[in-house]
Amino acid sequence: MELVAAGAARLSAQRLPALPATVAQPGYDRASLRMGIVHLGLGAFARAHLAAVNEAALHAGADRRWGICGVSLRQADTRDALAPQDGVYALALRSADGQGRPRQQIAVVGCLLETLVAPEDPQAVLARIAHGDTRIVSVTVTEKGYCHDPASGQLNLNHPDIVHDLGQPLAPRSTIGFLVWGLQQRRAAGLGPVTLMSLDNLPGNGHLLRGMVLAFAEQVDRALAGWIASACAFPCSMVDRIVPRTTDDDRREVAQALGMHDAWPVLAEPYLEWVVEDRYAAGRPDWTAGGARFVAEAAPFETLKLRTVNGAHSALAYLSVMAGWATVDQAMAQPALKAYLTALMQDEIVPTLPALPGLDLAQYQARLLERYENPALKHQTRQIAMDGSQKLPQRLLDTVRARLAADQPISGLALAVAAWLHFLRGVDQAGRRYEIQDPMAAVLASRHALAEAAAQRSGEGPAAMLAWTEAWTGLTPVFGDLGQDPRFVRAVAQAAQSLRSLGVAGALAAWAPPAGH
Ligand code: CS2
């Protein structure tokens, strides 16, 4: 990862004045910032979203309380990249001009003041949560970081990290363990409550986080659970910005624009949405300067975003990995795929959405397709395909439930679900093998074997695919009650049959929204 060209200077706080004038940089006094925000899960998303919005708030004059301490819960790579450059890093917003030529706008973000690596020093993380300056603890740990059962939404008390953390008040390893033990220290020190703010792509993310934290706290100390429930706040939010993984080519391009080396810049699309409930236990910055919107209730916005942006993204990803389309823009250049996604959204997803006064849904969908088509992002379809067991319930299956409850057709959604199952075979249509990255990978692998055996016992054709699909949809932690609904099982079996016999391109060509849409 170290790509420092011989003699190239490294980006750092001290070298900010040497940046070219085209690069925006912190215009506030970094040295005077305190760390009011502790962020767990210091991935690219948080650095391109929360930190970017917070940076804008500081530029607009937010008070000095709102610097960020970032915590990596697993690896040291982010800290290793950022600590030698004092935590400052470049955010490159990428798009294309009318002719499709890539454009980028770079800003150096300065509000990340400290980076901690939890496994190296868990007590430092707990101490930061229990510090008097801390007012908000925010979280982007992806779906699997909540240690919950995705179908029921309950804390999985058998999760190895939760089992471990219940007995380790000074050395937890899960997000939930750190939060609860950190809050315990906070309360013991007589400090006030904080806001615990989830920024993950989960419905009711604040309620979910609250549920996990309270379920864990109940196990250790009832009084602590009572204090958290009554004094801490858990606002829900909808977050939206496409943030692809940084590659070495990106590092080179950013270094060229900066005239110095940044070991880990982040890239993103210019688009950003953040709709967050205005419920804070100990104040907050005015993030509106960076594009945030404070609302009383985020649920309708979350449903909109999860079902459209993420639902369509997952549908695209599984079909594309199988077909060998490596990036989202490459997939969008396939007319049949684009037609399918457009119809999936328009005909099946959008009718399930709650009313959002003032939102032009047609424009929102058109904009979304343009975002996917952004040729400058090179967003890998394999990246989106990860962790399907944690993503499908809120991205596709809730939409299926809403459609079936209204007795409406689900053929497009069924094709997306079948594409996931097809993808779980671990080999694409060209015979290339890939690893299934999913916290349930072992369970999925044995289900796969079970499904293939069931299909073989049932002979050929549709009967075999029905048996195969039944074996899959019986996986209740993912499918919940849907495995019992013959309308769902039949529709997925039909789509799976089509994918298996015609391949992705053939299945997409054969797919047509059912009459009556
Ligand atoms: C993507 C999201 O990787 C994925 O699963 O669907 O990360 C998506 O890019 C963001 O949610 C967009 O806001």
Which atom in ligand 1 lies closest to the alpha carbon of residue 310? 6
Q: Ligand 1 centroid to 309 CA: how many Å?
A: 8
pLDDT, residue 515, reads: 54
Residue 4 falls within a domain, yes or no?
no
Predicted confidence band of residue 7 (pLDDT cuts 50, 70, 90):
low
Read off the pLDDT of residues 388-398 as tens digits, 9 standing for 90 and up.
999 999 999 99
Q: Ligand 1 centroid to 193 CA: how many Å?
A: 31
Q: What is the mean pLDDT of residues 4-31?
A: 90
Q: Ligand 1 centroid to 103 CA: how many Å?
A: 22
Q: What is the mean pLDDT of residues 293-300?
A: 97
Cβ contact 400:121 at 8 Å:
no
- CATH assignment of the domain containing 234: 3.40.50.720
Residue 368 falls within a domain, yes or no?
yes
Q: Residue 132 to residues 127, 137, 191, 405: CA-CA distances in angstroms? A: 10, 12, 7, 49
Residue 128 falls within a domain, yes or no?
yes
**Which residue has the least CA distance to atom 1 on ligand 1?**
384
Read off the pLDDT of residues 160-187 as tens digits, 9 standing for 90 and up.
999 999 999 999 999 999 999 999 999 9
Residue 358 falls within a domain, yes or no?
yes
Predicted confidence band of residue 145 (pLDDT cuts 50, 70, 90):
very high
Cβ contact 393:478 at 8 Å:
yes
Do residues 148 and 200 share a domain?
A: yes
**To test the ligand 1 pocket, which listed residue (384, 387, 390, 420) has its Cβ within 8 A of the most ligand atoms?**
384
CA angle 31–37–43, rounded 5-degree value: 100
Name which of 201, 206, 202, 279 is nearest 241 in CA terms.
Answer: 201
User: Percent of the chain beyond pLDDT 70?
Assistant: 98
User: 473 pLDDT exceeds 80?
Assistant: yes
Pairing of strands 237-240, 273-277: antiparallel
CA 417 vs. chain centroid, Å, equals: 19
Q: Higher-confidence residue: 324 or 151?
A: 324
Name the average pLDDT for the chain: 96
Residue 366 falls within a domain, yes or no?
yes
Write down which residue in 295, 326, 358 finishes a domain.
295
Do residues 146 and 221 share a domain?
A: yes
**Which residue has the least CA distance to atom 9 on ligand 1?**
242
* pTM for this model (two decimals): 0.96
CA angle 205–51–291, rounded 5-degree value: 75
Which residues line the pocket of ligand 1, CB cutoff 6 A?
Answer: 201, 240-242, 309-310, 313, 383-384, 391
Q: What is the mean pLDDT of residues 191-195?
A: 98
Cβ contact 262:280 at 8 Å:
no
pLDDT, residue 198, reads: 98
Do residues 29 and 152 share a domain?
A: yes
Predicted confidence band of residue 444 (pLDDT cuts 50, 70, 90):
very high
Do residues 439 and 326 share a domain?
A: yes
As a whole number of angstroms, the distance between CA 279 and CA 426 comes to: 44
- For 327, which DSSP code? B
As a whole number of angstroms, the distance between CA 514 and CA 517 comes to: 6
Do residues 68 and 138 share a domain?
A: yes
Which atom in ligand 1 lies closest to the alpha carbon of residue 314? 6
- Total H helices, total E strands in the chain: 22, 11
Name which of 392, 411, 393, 394 is nearest 403 in CA terms.
Answer: 411
Q: What is the mean pLDDT of residues 434-445?
A: 97
Q: What is the mean pLDDT of residues 233-262?
A: 97
Do residues 70 and 107 share a domain?
A: yes
Do residues 144 and 156 share a domain?
A: yes
Q: Ligand 1 centroid to 379 CA: how many Å?
A: 10
Q: Ligand 1 centroid to 299 CA: how many Å?
A: 18
**Which residue has the least CA distance to atom 4 on ligand 1?**
384
User: 250 pLDDT exceeds 80?
Assistant: yes
- For 257, which DSSP code? H
Residue 413 falls within a domain, yes or no?
yes
pLDDT, residue 452, reads: 96
User: 400 pLDDT exceeds 80?
Assistant: yes
Read off the pLDDT of residues 301-351 as tens digits, 9 standing for 90 and up.
999 999 999 999 999 999 999 999 999 999 999 999 999 999 999 999 999
Write down which residue in 295, 322, 348 finishes a domain.
295
User: Percent of the chain beyond pLDDT 90?
Assistant: 94
Which atom in ligand 1 lies closest to the alpha carbon of residue 240? 13
Using DSSP's 3-state secondary structure scheme, residue 79 falls into: helix
- For 91, which DSSP code? E
Do residues 30 and 132 share a domain?
A: yes
**Which residue has the least CA distance to atom 10 on ligand 1?**
242
Question: What is the residue type of 338?
Answer: K
State how many domains the chain has: 2
Name which of 158, 164, 58, 155 is nearest 112 in CA terms.
Answer: 58
CA angle 367–279–290, rounded 5-degree value: 40
Do residues 328 and 282 share a domain?
A: no
- DSSP E strand boundaries for 164-265: 195-198, 237-240
- CATH assignment of the domain containing 428: 1.10.1040.10
pLDDT, residue 237, reads: 98
Name which of 315, 213, 323, 255 is nearest 23 in CA terms.
Answer: 255
pLDDT, residue 5, reads: 54
Q: Ligand 1 centroid to 242 CA: how many Å?
A: 6
Write down which residue in 295, 325, 360 finishes a domain.
295
As a whole number of angstroms, the distance between CA 198 and CA 206 comes to: 6
Q: Ligand 1 centroid to 373 CA: how many Å?
A: 14
Which strand ranges, in their side-by-side order, compose the sheet holding 102-109? Answer: 102-109, 89-96, 266-268
Which atom in ligand 1 lies closest to the alpha carbon of residue 45? 7
Do residues 350 and 205 share a domain?
A: no
Residue range of the domain that includes 358: 299-510
As a whole number of angstroms, the distance between CA 122 and CA 73 comes to: 9
Read off the pLDDT of residues 46-102 as tens digits, 9 standing for 90 and up.
999 999 999 999 999 989 999 999 999 999 999 999 999 999 999 999 999 888 888
Residue 84 falls within a domain, yes or no?
yes
User: 276 pLDDT exceeds 90?
Assistant: yes
Residue 7 falls within a domain, yes or no?
no
Do residues 133 and 208 share a domain?
A: yes
Do residues 100 and 188 share a domain?
A: yes
pLDDT, residue 199, reads: 98
pLDDT, residue 504, reads: 98
